[in-house]
Amino acid sequence: MNIKNKSLLNNYIYYIKIEKGLSENSIESYKSDLTNFFDFYDEDITAISNDKVVNYLLDLQELGLVNSSIARKTSAIKNFFLYLIEENIPIKVNIEEIPSISYNRHLPDVISVEEMFKLLDEIDMSTSLTYRNKTMLELMYATGIRVSELLNISLHDVDLSDKSLLIHGKGNKQRLLPIPDSTMEYLLHYIKIERFDLKKDKLIDTLFLNNRGGKLSRMGFWKILRNCALSSGITSHISPHTIRHSFATHLLEAGANLRVVQTLLGHTSLDTTQIYTNVDINYLIEEHKLHHPRG
C-alpha cells in the first residue's frame, strides 16, 4: 500500500473509531476490507474509477465469495469514498453511478470452515483406499486445486523437501503451490505406504490411484466426495468445485490478499519459465500459512 493510501486509510479508521464510535469488530472489518481493496489496485485510491470498483467486486464473485461478504465489502468501499467527499478530497468515483452487484447468476457453493473441518476430520483412514480419500480431500482444501488438476498429479510433481506441489493447469500453465505441514503428513504417509499397496505391481507415476492400481476418474472422485459428505452428516450440496471455492472464500474472509488467492487458484498467467509474475513464492507461503484454516 502506498503512503498516500495508507494515510487516508489511517485517517478514516480514526474517524469511524472516534467520531462514529464503531465497535472494534466493525473497525477491523472495515480495515480488512479496505486494505484488500487498496492492495488490489496499486495506485492512488483517489484516482480509482467506477469501472475498477465494479471489476474488483466482480472478481470477488468469480472467486466464490458469499453474497453477504460482497455486500459488506461494497458498503465499506462506498462509505470510505463518502468520507473522502465529506473531507473535500478530490476523487474520480461517482458513488451514485456504482451499480449494485447482481446476484442473480449462480454463485459457486461454499461451505463454512466448521463444515469443512467436519468433512475432513470424519473421514475413515482404516484402509489404503480411505486413507487415499483423506489425503486427496486434505490436499484439495489446502491448495484450492481443481479436481482435474488433482487427478493428474504425478509423483514427480510433489517436492517433499520443499513441501511444494507443481500443478499443470488450464492452457498448459503451471503454478507452484505450498503444502502446509498438516497436509504434508498425510501425503508422506500415503506415498510411502498406502499408495505402494494400491499400485500393486504396476509401474505408474500417477499420485492418486483407484482400487485397481490405475488412474482415478473424475466420476470416481465425485462418488468418493459424496460418500464422505454423507458419512460426516453434511446435508449441503458438495461438489469438487465446492472445495475449491471454499478454499478461496475462507482465505479471503480471513483477510488474505486477493492477488495471492488469484495466484494460488491459477488465475494469473504463469508458464514453465516464469512461474510467478506478481507474487514471490515466499510471500505465497507466508500468506497461506497466516490465513488458511489448516495452515
**Catalytic positions, please?**
146, 170, 241, 244, 267, 276
Task: Reduce the DSSP state of residue 202 to 3 states and report it.
Answer: coil
d(CA 225, CA 234): 11
Q: Are 133 and 236 in contact (CB under 8 A)?
A: no
Eight-class DSSP state of 174? E
Report long-range pairs for 116-121 (Cβ below 8 Å, ≥24 apart): 116/141, 116/243, 116/246, 116/250, 116/293, 117/293, 118/232, 118/233, 118/234, 119/228, 119/229, 119/232, 119/234, 119/238
In the chain the first and final C-alpha atoms are separated, in Å, by 25
d(CA 76, CA 178): 32
